[in-house]
Amino acid sequence: MRHAGSSRLPEEAPDISRLSDSLEEAIHWLSRYGADSEGGVTRLLYTDSWQQAQAALAERMQQAGLEVYYDEVGNLYGRIEGAQPHLGTILTGSHIDTVRHGGKYDGAYGIAAGLTALLYLAQRYGKPRYNLEIVSFCEEEGSRFPLTYWGSGNVSGRYSPDRVPDIYDDAGLSLKEAMLAAGFCSQASRAWTVRREDLRAFIELHIEQGAVLEREGSSIGVVQGIVGQKRLTFEVIGEANHAGTTPMAWRRDALAGAAEMVGYMEKLAQSYGPPMVATVGSLTLTPNLANVIPGKVSFTLDARHSDGGELSSFCSEAAAGLGDLAARRGLILTSHEWMNAEPVMMDAELTGWVEDICTQRDWSRVRMFSGAGHDAQVMQSICPAALVFVPSRGGVSHSPDEYTSAEELAAGVSVLTDLLYGLAYDKEGAL
């Protein structure tokens, strides 16, 4: 890829008011699928609300004239074929799944914005040189199954539908069963076509989900890299017993032990200093009754750092410290690491290009690291990938209170439109 430059920008800036109107409408339209009465959105992988959202999106893309198809795991694509289709594809998009009771913008923004940009470009400039596609990745969050990036992981070849991990949701349903029930992965013997070999670039537009842009008063976050992330589940086994007849000195209380462990990890993370973060976000106790000493507790740890070495040493120290705490209380501790994502640097050339666009179009911008994980980090393993942020009000995300103003959303889609033009239309955009 040669370095960008003004020549790759269309002379006229994208028509922001046109982009903005259809973008806002698309975001609110998508948020109806999986909406709850308190303003939250829940679309867990392969559930009804997820299926309805993908189906509605497929129909909308089809009506808009895109060529629409699903792959075997449920990633949904909309395609505009290029003048030279064999030369490859420029892909943009994000994920359709949400956390439980999440917001309207996480993932959905990148899809709504990608669709808006594609349709605008096609209307304004006609057929691109390279194929231009949008993807709605089937899963990114890992909210239903203990597995993240199942959608982009299949596209990049990290996972494959003929080797579905043997994992289960809270109701005991396996990932494979859930996939089959949603109508995917049903022809076990066919050659899978999930993995993409034709991608020239992947661009993801996303809300920041933090407060850097708001604090800096900037419109665009140019993401240089994404933190490494480990997720583990710990199980603490003590002894369930009568809450009235068991003296304090004779107890093996799994929850009292787990509580100490949570506090220990918070202090340990603080002692590492920023950007180390560690969170116990899910905890289940058994039998969970007022008059029974908890016999078993399982809890998760989500730990992140931009330096992979620091992250590993935090996790080793935490495991050793937790082991000591368990031993002191006569508890049995086991752990299972189910996510280990290395820190990833985004493509430097594309990142520089985003900065050039901001300079030329007068968007204020900040270079930054992402503390949240994204499909873009997985896609970067198979093609040059860029991640672009717009502000999140109050830095709030994974909550119904997620909010980004119409103007801020429009700035992002304008940058995306310019970037996609340069990549897919301008012959100088050849990578």
Ligand X SMILES: NC(=O)NC(NC(N)=O)C(=O)[O-]
Q: Which is nearer to ligand X, 213 or 372 (CB)?
A: 372
87-106 binders of ligand X (CB under 6 A): 106
Among 71, 97, 106, 169, binds Zn ion (CB under 5 A): 106
- With CB under 5 to 8 Å by kind, the binding choice for 375 among Zn ion, ligand X, none is none
Task: Supply 40's token pair.
Answer: 């939250």
For ligand X, the closer of residues 140 and 347 by Cβ is 140
Nearer to ligand X, 133 or 375 (CB): 375
CB of 47 to ligand X, least distance (A): 17
Q: Is residue 148 within the footprint of ligand X (CB under 6 A)?
A: yes
Rounded to whole angstroms, how far apart are CA atoms 102 and 41? 5
What is the nearest approach in angstroms of Zn ion to the Cβ of residue 41?
A: 11
If we measure between CA atoms, which residue out of 131, 94, 98 comes closest to residue 112? 94
Nearer to ligand X by Cβ, of 53 and 66: the residue is 53
Q: Which listed option, Zn ion, ligand X, none, makes contact with residue 79 (CB within 5 to 8 Å by class)?
A: none
Report the interhelical angle of 16-30 vs 48-63 (nearest 10°): 150
Rule CB under 5 A: is residue 107 a binding residue for Zn ion?
yes
Q: How far is the CB of 398 from ligand X (least distance, A)?
A: 6
How many angstroms separate the CA atoms of 170 and 165, rounded? Answer: 16
The residues with which 258 forms a beta bridge, in sequence order, are none
110 binds Zn ion (CB under 5 A): no
Strands 365-370 and 199-207: unpaired
Check binding of 418 to ligand X (CB under 6 A). Answer: no
Round to whole Å and give the CA distance between 72 and 137: 12
Distance from C-alpha of 428 to C-alpha of 431, rounded to nearest angstrom: 8
Which residue, 237 or 387, has its beta carbon nearer to Zn ion? Answer: 387
| Minimum distance, C-beta of residue 400 to Zn ion, in the bound complex (Å) | 13
Number of residues engaging Zn ion in binding (CB under 5 A): 2
Q: What Å distances lie between residue 61 and 24, 109, 418, CA to CA? A: 16, 15, 21
Q: How far is the CB of 106 from Zn ion (least distance, A)?
A: 4
Parallel/antiparallel/unpaired status of strands 220-226 and 344-345: antiparallel
The pair of structure tokens assigned to 285 is: 């106790």
**Dihedral angle over CA of 314, 319, 321, 323, nearest 10:** 180
Q: Of ligand X, Zn ion, none, which one sits near residue 148, judging by CB under 5 to 8 A according to partner kind?
A: ligand X
**Given 372, 385, 388, 423, the residue binding ligand X (CB under 6 A):** 372
- Minimum gap (Å) between residue 33 Cβ and ligand X: 18
- Count of residues that interact with ligand X, criterion CB under 6 A: 10
Q: Does 40 bind Zn ion (CB under 5 A)?
A: no
Q: Which stretch binds ligand X (CB under 6 A): 13-21, 71-79, 136-144, 165-173?
A: 136-144
CB closer to ligand X, 72 vs 106: 106
Nearer to ligand X, 30 or 61 (CB): 30
Residue whose tokens read 């994974």: 398
Nearer to ligand X, 89 or 209 (CB): 209
374 touches ligand X by CB under 6 A: yes
Please state, as a whole number, how many other Cβ atoms lie within 10 Å of the Cβ of residue 3. 10
Residue 298: contacted member of Zn ion, ligand X, none (CB under 5 to 8 Å, by partner type): none
Report the residue from 72, 140, 169, 253 that binds ligand X according to the rule CB under 6 A.
140
72 binds ligand X (CB under 6 A): no
Query: Which residues are CB-contacts of 343 (< 8 A; sequence separation ≥ 6)?
Result: 225, 226, 227, 228, 305, 306, 307, 308, 311
Work out how close the CB of 330 gets to Zn ion at its nearest, in angstroms, rounded to a whole number. Answer: 39
Closest approach of Cβ 178 to ligand X, in Å? 18
Site residues (CB under 6 A) for ligand X?
A: 106, 140-142, 148, 209, 229, 372-374
Site residues (CB under 5 A) for Zn ion?
A: 106-107
